[in-house]
Every structure is written in structure tokens, then in C-alpha cells.
A and B are shown apart, each in its own frame.
Chain A
Amino acid sequence: MSSDPSSILPPGLAPGLAKTASGIQGLDEITGGGLPRGRPTLVCGSAGCGKTLFALQFLAAGAVSHDEPGVFMAFEEMPEELAQNVRSLGLDLDDLVARGRLVVDYVHVERSEIEETGEYDLEGLFLRLGYAIDSIGAKRVVLDTLESLFGSLGNEAVLRAELRRLFRWLKDRGVTAVITAERGAGALTRHGLEEYVSDCVILLDHRVSEQIATRRLRIVKYRGTPHGTNEYPFLIDSDGIEVLPITSAGLAYAVSTERVSTGVAGLDEMMGGEGYFRGSTVLISGTAGTGKTSLAACFADAACRRGERTLFYTFEESQHQVVRNLRSIGVDLAPWIERGLLRIHAGRPTLHGLETHLARIHRELREWDPQAVVLDPVGSFVAVASPVDVKALMTRLLDLLKERQVTTVLTHLNAGGAPSEQTDFGVSSLVDTWLLLRDLEAAGERNRGLYVLKSRGMAHSNRIREFVISTRGLELVDVCVGPEGVLTGSARVVHQEGGREGTPTPGPRAARERRK
């Protein structure tokens, strides 16, 4: 074994370091397999950050899924609170205890009821824990919250010596332990427990910024295992804690050469005649009213037509509004919703913090496994976070979507007057294909133009085309170049009717469409 294996080996491959599945969704991915097997892990955080739930989930996973019974030693919680906590994970505490999968020991020490009269040690605690472990062959142990002993016993020197001995003892017993501790001012724990636990320290955090709360998890220390030092957002809901692994090494995904229709024949044509790459990320940007949502919806419609599960996030309109508006241009999404192929999620960005949004999307990706996703519009996230944070979120989200081979369409509203070849938070460099919609004003008309600003890995048209929205859907029409420059709308129709050769002729029909 080399002196510093962590520097050369990828996660999970450090020699001699066995891991134990933590039971916490996402955490094992960050840590390359879970918590260090047979060693103590310190989980610290302030009140209400989810420490106890973390610990319970760890035990429950062992007891239910990994044939590793566990001991829960509660220094603070009372039986009812604990049972409630466990019930929130969909488990029955009494049942686990009755089946010998779990031992729960409530340690109750009231300082006022105890007189200290000379030297002592905590051998009683050791015997108690040892007996509990032996009685069910426990492989996992939780001490929640061990530090409260500092409030119960007066002799700190004895306590510190005994805690040091306890952590060594836990290792000797070979149990995988989670010790929870309260966050201290300026230190990880109130009584410096991190000093005794050298293997793995995890910090849980619950922060409120701009009135939006976000939970975050950070691995402060993990001996022998390379780990991200990032803060990872996590959620607490009916399934317990779920950590969102940031796919920091996210450039390793497989790519597809399969093409999928954009939902607009003319646009497919512009993109080598075939459309987007499956699993690629497409940005549609443009000023207000240029048809971004319509174009994205056509893609969703086409995806459903192919039988693909499609997720449509709308951050500015309600589901009904989206469906109604699209029906007016000949795109009917309702049947797809009824058939369960399309899910529209409507919600203001301010409903949750950025991470929570990411977490929810992540969860849905995992559970429903859609093949196509629309986010309309992504720029609205700027309302809840700084552009830097939004870019970080988008990077993570897009990596995640790519990894899952989900074809994704994002829309972005360019503020009037702002340079159109730019997004508020630099998302453009993350996308594979960028379609720009813009107004073309000429001859007293405002028409829509579309061009492909970039499209990685495919031959694509360099032409600006006119983008026509009618009750029958979206159409792309070649613009005409006449002596006066680019002709769109009526000017184009007139020009075409004038018998110009070599232009495809939507001609008179397009003229009718335009004028209604």
C-alpha cells in the first residue's frame, strides 16, 4: 500500500477500506460506497438539521436491507419521539425490535439526581452497549447524541478519557458506528468530539438565505477516501434524507448518435435533416414573444409521439395555461397527460431554494426515468439565487440529464436590449445546440426569425429562417434575400409571388396565414 493512496485512486478503490452502505440515497455515491466499515463516523450539525434521522436511516437500512442488525443508543430522544421518527421512514420501531433487528436503549442521566463522590469510569456504558450488540449480533451502532453526557456528568477529564476509550472500543468491536453531535460555535461539535473521530466526519447544515431554506451536507473528513469537499444539497421528505450527488466528474457520459425530431419539420431540416441528438441539451433563447415555449412544446409533443416519457417544467405558467396556449397553435398536449406520457410541473422558482429544485428534479428523474425534459424558462431561477449559483445548479442539472441520456430543451428569455447571444448566467457554454429566436423588424412588420447559433457534432444550416406560428403549428420558411436585404412576412410573400426562382414556395398560403 502506498503512503497516500487517496491521491491516485478513484473513489471506492482505496485499498483495504471496506465501506458500509449508508442507507442514505446519494451519500454512497459521494463517498464511493458508504461509511467506513467497522469504524465510527461523526455526524454533526445544529438542532433540526436531520442528524437523528440520518442515524435512524443508517440503522434501518442495515436492519431491513443488509442483514446488519443495529443498536440505537439514545441519549436525548424519548421512546415516543423516536418511534415517530422511525414511522416517518415508513418503518415500525416495535416490529424491528421484536424481530431482533434493532435494540433501542434510552440512556437517561439526570445530573441533579446524581452525586459524584470520587473516581469513576463509564464501564457501565461499555457493558451496556456490549450487551446490546451481542444480544442481536449488531453490526451497526448509533450513539445519539453522545455529547449530552457532558451535561450529565461533571468530571470532564474522566468523560474525555472515556470517550477516547469508547471510540477505540467501537473500532475493536468492528461495528460501523454513527455518532451524532451538536454543532458548536466556531467548531464542528460543541465538545470537540471531532478530535476523537478520525475516520469520517460529516456535517449537516440547514441555512436560510433570502428566506429560502436549504439543507446541505458536507464531508469534512474521510480518511483514505478521496471525496468531494463540496456541499451537497439534501432533502428531507417522506423517504427520509436524500443527498444529491453532484456529478463533478460529469464529463464521462456516453453520447448517442441517435437523432430525435425537434417537432418542427423545417427545423429538423436545418439540423442535417434529422433533429437533435438524443441526450443532448438544447437552448432556445430569444426575446419576449418569439415563440420559445411553443418551440419547446413542439419538442415535447414529438417526444410523446415517439412514446417517450416527457417532463415539462414550467416556472411561469400553470399547467392549464400551458395546455390552453399550445392548443391555440395546434399542439394538443392533453392526450399525452392523460396517457401518462407527459408530466407538467408548474411552480414558481421561489417556491423552493435552488438546491431543492435540483433535488426534486433529480428525484423525479430517478423515479420516473423520463427520456425528454423541458425547462421553461431557466432564467427565472435568477429570481432565487445569484447568477453564479444558478450556473452551478444548471451545470449539475445538465450533467445529470446528460448522464441519463435525457434530451433536454431549455428556454431562456433575453431581456430586451441585452445582447441576444448571451444568457444571464452563462448557460450557453453548457449546451450542445443553441437556437436563437429573434424579431426581424422591417416594412412595418415584426416577424420572427430563427437560426442555429451552434450545434455540436452535426452539420447545420447557417441560414436565418422565418419562424411562422399559426393555428396549425410551427413552420419554418426560408427568408428571401432581395435587393433591399432580408425579406420576411409580407415582403417575402410579395417577393416570392413575383416569381423568384429557387426558393421553396409556401407562397400564397403563407401570405394567408400571416394576415389573419
Chain B
Amino acid sequence: MTAVPADEGCWELRLYVAGQTPRSVTALQNLKRLCEDHLAGRYRIEIVDLLKNPQLARSDQILAIPTLVRKLPAPARKIIGDLSQTERVLLGLDVRPAG
């Protein structure tokens, strides 16, 4: 069985980092692998570096780094950490594991 999103269409994900720290690199790697495994072809990842755009921390209510925000499908969800615990990430994103 393949992953079926809550509704059809593209998954818009935004990853907030603060510079190129080992932890944010790990988070991005984890995110990419996870998307390829479960949302292949149906996702878009945007990376926001708060060092460059610090004002976004306030407008998007970010405290922890890294933070992953599922913008779409709605409602928005937040996942913090380096995304190393795959099960919890899938739970947080509300993606049913493929296979």
C-alpha cells in the first residue's frame, strides 16, 4: 500500500534552521529520505534560515530549532527536533507509513 495523504495534492513542508549546523543538516537529510520514502513526487520542501530572516521566527511562532512545519495539507502542524525518530515524524505529519 502506498502512502495516502489526508487529501489530494502537494505536501508543502517548511524547515526552519539557524545556519548550517550539524543538527540542521541531519534534519534536512532525515526529512528528504522520509519524503522520498512516503511522499515521493508529492512534496515540496522549503528551507528557512532564521539567521537570514530572523523576523520570521516571530511571525511563524518558532522557538525550537530545527522546526518542521506542515503548511499543507491544512491544518498546519509543527514538529521539532532533528527528525531522527521517523515514527514520530510520520505521526506528527499525519502520514500513514507506506508499505
Contact = CB atoms under 8 A, between A and B. Distances in A.
A237 interface: no
Contact of B50 (A109, A115, A119, A123): A123
Interface stretch (B7-15, B37-45, B74-82): B74-82
Contact of A124 (B16, B77, B85, B89): B16
B23 interface: yes
A128 B54 contact: yes
B20 interface: no
Interface string A97-130: 0000000010111000111111111111101101
Given A124-B16, A131-B55, A115 B65 contact: no
B62 to A, nearest CB: 4
A119 B84 contact: yes
A120 B23 CA distance: 8
B64 interface: yes
A115 B89 contact: yes
A108 B78 CA distance: 12
B23 to A, nearest CB: 6
A127 B54 contact: yes
Most B C-beta atoms less than 10 A away, residue of A109, A123, A149: A123
Contact of B80 (A120, A127, A132, A149): A120
Given A120-B82, A131-B54, A131-B55, A115 B62 contact: no
A120 B15 CA distance: 13
Contacts of A113: 77-78
B5 interface: no
A15 to B, nearest CB: 37
A105 B27 CA distance: 27
A117 B88 contact: yes
Given A121-B64, A127-B18, A153-B64, A132 B83 contact: no
B63 A125 contact: yes
B92 interface: yes
Interface residues on B, range: 20 to 34
B57 interface: yes
Contact of B58 (A117, A122, A128, A153): A128
Contact of B89 (A117, A125, A130): A117
Which of A108, A118, A149 has the largest count of B CB atoms less than 10 A from its CB?
A118
A163 B45 CA distance: 31
A124 B78 contact: no
A114 B51 contact: no
A106 to B, nearest CB: 9
A505 to B, nearest CB: 89
Interface in B20-79: 23, 27, 30, 50-51, 54-55, 57-58, 61-67, 77-79
Contacts of A153: 63-64
B81 A124 contact: no
B3 interface: no
Contact of A117 (B23, B51, B63, B82): B82
Given A124-B16, A124-B50, A131-B54, A118 B83 contact: yes
Contacts of B88: 115-117
Nearest to A149: B63
B23 A119 contact: yes
Nearest to B30: A118
A107 B84 contact: no
A110 to B, nearest CB: 9
Nearest to A155: B81
Contact of B65 (A108, A118, A120, A132): A120
B58 A118 contact: no
Contact of B62 (A128, A130, A132): A128
Contacts of B80: 114-117, 120
B62 A124 contact: yes
Contact of A114 (B78, B83, B84, B89): B78
A120 B66 contact: yes
Nearest to B18: A123
Nearest to A135: B55
A125 B84 CA distance: 22
25 contacts: A109-B61, A114-B78, A114-B79, A115-B77, A115-B80, A115-B88, A115-B89, A117-B81, A117-B85, A117-B92, A118-B27, A119-B84, A120-B64, A120-B66, A121-B65, A122-B63, A123-B18, A123-B65, A124-B63, A124-B65, A124-B67, A127-B18, A127-B50, A128-B62, A131-B58
Interface of B: 16, 18, 23, 27, 30, 50-51, 54-55, 57-58, 61-67, 77-85, 88-89, 91-92
Interface of A: 105, 107-109, 113-125, 127-128, 130-132, 149, 153
Given A115-B77, A115-B89, 4 more contacts: A113-B78, A114-B80, A119-B82, A128-B63
Closest 5 CB pairs of A and B: A115-B92, A118-B81, A131-B54, A118-B84, A128-B57
